[in-house]
Amino acid sequence: MVKVIGLTGGIASGKSTVSSILKSLGAVIIDADVVSREIMIKGTETYNILISVFGREILRKDGEIDRRKLGNLVFADKEKLNKLNEITHPEIIKRIKDIIEEERKKGKEKAIVLDAALLIEMKLFNMVDEVWLVVVDKKTQIRRLMKRDNLSYKDALNRIKSQMSIEDKMKYADFIINNCKDFNAIKRQVELLWGRFSK
C-alpha cells in the first residue's frame, strides 16, 4: 500500500519549499490550496454560495473570486472565517479523498504527499499515514509573510493568529522539519526523511 504523508506548517513557514523539494525527489504532491481554488472556480456550486454569503465585492473584474479580498475579509473576522470554512472544507475534503484514491489505485508511487496548511484543523491527518510539520520561529514567520504577501505587521499577525499554534500542531506531528536556517539545511532534512521510502 502506497503511504500518504501529510505535510503541514504555519503560514510562511516554508512548507511550499519542502513540497517542491519532495516533488524534485519524485513525490506525487496533492496541494490542498490548488484543490481549494478549483472548488471556487466561477460557475461551481461553492462559487455561487460564497457570493451569496460574502457579496460580489469578493470578485475580480473577470468574475472569478479574488482570494486576497476574500482573505482580508475573513482573517479580520472570526465569524466570517468560520463561515468560509463551513462552506469550503467539506468540498475540499471530498475532492482530496478522491485524488488519494485515484493515486493509490495507480500504485506506482513510493509515497503521496498531501500538502495542506490546515491539515490538522480540517482533520485531514485522518487520511494520512504520518504527519510532517515544518516549523520556523515567529519573528522569521512574520517577516516572510509581510514580504511575500505585501502585508502590514498587523495583517501578518492577524493571519498567523487565525491559525492553530505551532505548539498545538506539534502534538500531531510524527516528524518536525526545522526551517530556521538556509535552504541546504532544510533540503538535507527532507532528503533524510524521504530516503525511508526509497529503499
Distance between CA atoms of 157 and 61, rounded to whole angstroms?
29
For cell 518536525, the residue is 176
Contact 78, 89 (CB under 8 A): no
Binding-site residue set for ATP: 12-17
**Contact between residue 7 and residue 135 where contact means Cβ atoms under 8 Å apart:** no
Pick out the residues of the known binding site.
12-17
Residue in the block written with cell 503560514: 11
Q: Are 132 and 18 in contact (CB under 8 A)?
A: yes
Query: Quick one: CA torsion of 33, 122, 126, 109, rounded to 10 degrees?
Result: 0
Give, for 147, the enclosing helix (H) or strand (E): helix 138-149
- Sequential DSSP letters for 44-64: SHHHHHHHHHH-GGGB-TTSS
